[in-house]
Amino acid sequence: MKKLPLIAALLIHFSLAAQTDLDAFRYSQRSVAGTARYISMGGAFTALGGDMTTLSHNPAGQGIYRGNEITFSTSVFTGNSRSDYLGENTTDGRTNFNIPNLGVVLTAKENDQSVNASGWQSWNIGFAYNRLMDFHNVRSFEGYNTTSSLVDYFAQQANGIYPDNLDRFNEDLAYQTYLINPDSTLNYSSAAAGGNVLQRRSSETRGAISETSLTFSGNYSNKLYLGGSIGIVGLRYREDTYFDEVDTQNQHDSLQQYEYASFLNSEGSGLNLKFGFIYRASDLFRIGGAIHTPTWYNMSDAYSSTMASKFDKGKTYRYASPDGAFDYFYKSPFRAMLGAGFIFGKAGLLSVDYEFSDAGQSTVRADGYGFSQVNADIRRKYVGTHTLRAGTEWKLDNVSLRAGYGFTTSPISDGYKVAGSDFSQSRFSGGIGFREKNFFIDLGFLYSLTKEYLQPYTLDNTFVPGSNERVTGYNATLTAGVKF
């Protein structure tokens, strides 16, 4: 199993026969998704509650419900990317239709429901499906590299290794298609030595992280709301990556072009617990907080790769790896959040949230295999992130206008950041809602921007340029609900 190091930021890794720190980082991320009201207010609901998404956010928010409710949401998500690689700009993207939320809350009330009643006022049980992360996107870049080639990387990795022992998902493919060739001392030469090739890469990712929550909550004296939930998490991730190089200016003796393709399909199921509170200090002000335990996943990866090369005089070669599979365990980081809400009677509200999470606390393990180096890479390369969310809602009769903002600091430690492409994220949102006594419909929009840096490979003693990526997400969600 081979692992590429991370230099300056996250790498595009080609060694799909390995679970790397990049996998742990990817699966630790979360997006703002759920009901239309939730996304339009930027997800700032820690101290508010009363929304179906809070079952996966702060389970105490379920205690705000005074009656039964069922909601259903549908969403259109578009992921776009704009790449700047070796002075060339490339744009790409993908649109996905999905169901980000579906849930029901049932309420059992105590006999005494007066305004000043003390003791337990109601109990709630909720069941909800919420989408936590969306992986759908298409990314691509291209540029003319005058200093190196991916084949140079394969040659360096192969040096000193007998052909029969080469990595069957990477270097062996290059060897079988005559892109790298050994001499008598097992030093491998590259068919594209020194670069001077047009490099092109495209990657399509699909999948999501979703959670089904069973939540219990209670309302004590209309002041204190407590809740806890069990979350069953499903994870799906698929990535198909194609990397090709073309000798467009006839700089190499015989190589014309080649294409390397890699395919990864990851699936996992996990379990977590959440606990939260909301305290209504006054009619104007309330505070809330929640703790999410790590999610413990059972993961299964399936992977393969192919290589095809073309040389002068019509010589072509193609070779495919075997189908690989690996089962392992992944633990995501815990999350802690604190929020404050200001309620201005029936006119509107303002809410502010803070959340902490640390991707560096993720761990990977497997029976019979040591992941000490991968886990050390995770702790070294990633740091805790601080997220600020703010949302507001203002009512005009039975119409509500909403807006939100969020910002998450960089999860990359200082020694691995690239200025201006440090994986920090900004989010802007807005929406509108219409409510009658027993029915409501909401529409929400959210825009996110993450500036990333992706490097295709590394070489000893040679700088390899990377691609500055401007990754944007557009989410439009429609939610309908009935109170009964």
pTM listed for this prediction = 0.92
pLDDT at 370: 85
pLDDT at 20: 81
Q: Could you report the per-residue pLDDT of 230-260, keeping only the tens digit for each?
A: 999 999 999 999 999 999 999 998 999 999 9
On whether residue 15 sits in a domain, the answer given is no
Q: Which CATH number belongs to the domain containing residue 228 in this structure? A: 2.40.160.60
Q: Could you report the per-residue pLDDT of 461-484, keeping only the tens digit for each?
A: 899 999 999 999 999 999 999 999
Three state DSSP letters for the chain:
CCCCCCCCCCECCCCCCCCCHHHHHHHCCCCCCCCHHHHHCCCCCCCCCCCHHHHHCCHHHHHHCCCCEEEEEEEEEEEEEEEEECCEEEEEEEEEEEEEEEEEEEEEECCCCCCCCCCEEEEEEEEEEEEEEECCEEEEEEEEECCCCHHHHHHHHHCCCCHHHCCCCCHHHHHHCCCEEECCCCCEEECCCCCCEEEEEEEEEEEEEEEEEEEEEEEECCCEEEEEEEEEEEEEEEEEEEEEEECCCCCCCCEEEEEEEEEEEEEEEEEEEEEEEEEECCCCEEEEEEEECCCEEEEEEEEEEEEEEEEHHHCEEEEECCCEEEEEEEECCCEEEEEEEEEECCCEEEEEEEEEEEHHHCEEEECCECCHHHHHHHHHHECEEEEEEEEEEEEECCEEEEEEEEEECCCECHHHCCCCCCCCEEEEEEEEEEECCCEEEEEEEEEEEEEEEEECCCECCECCCCEEEEEEEEEEEEEEEEEC
On whether residue 9 sits in a domain, the answer given is no
Q: Could you report the per-residue pLDDT of 263-293, keeping only the tens digit for each?
A: 999 999 999 999 999 999 999 999 999 999 9
Q: Could you report the per-residue pLDDT of 151-162, keeping only the tens digit for each?
A: 999 999 999 999
pLDDT at 229 over 80: yes
Q: Could you report the per-residue pLDDT of 57-71, keeping only the tens digit for each?
A: 999 999 999 999 999
* Host domain of residue 293: 21-483
pLDDT at 131 over 60: yes
On whether residue 12 sits in a domain, the answer given is no
Q: Could you report the per-residue pLDDT of 329-383, keeping only the tens digit for each?
A: 999 999 999 999 999 999 999 999 999 999 999 999 999 888 999 999 999 999 9
On whether residue 134 sits in a domain, the answer given is yes
12: confidence class by pLDDT, cuts 50, 70, 90: very low
pLDDT at 113: 57
- Average pLDDT of the segment spanning 307-335: 96
On whether residue 86 sits in a domain, the answer given is yes
pLDDT at 17 over 90: no
pLDDT at 2: 35
On whether residue 466 sits in a domain, the answer given is yes
On whether residue 11 sits in a domain, the answer given is no
Task: Give the number of domains in the chain.
Answer: 1
On whether residue 289 sits in a domain, the answer given is yes
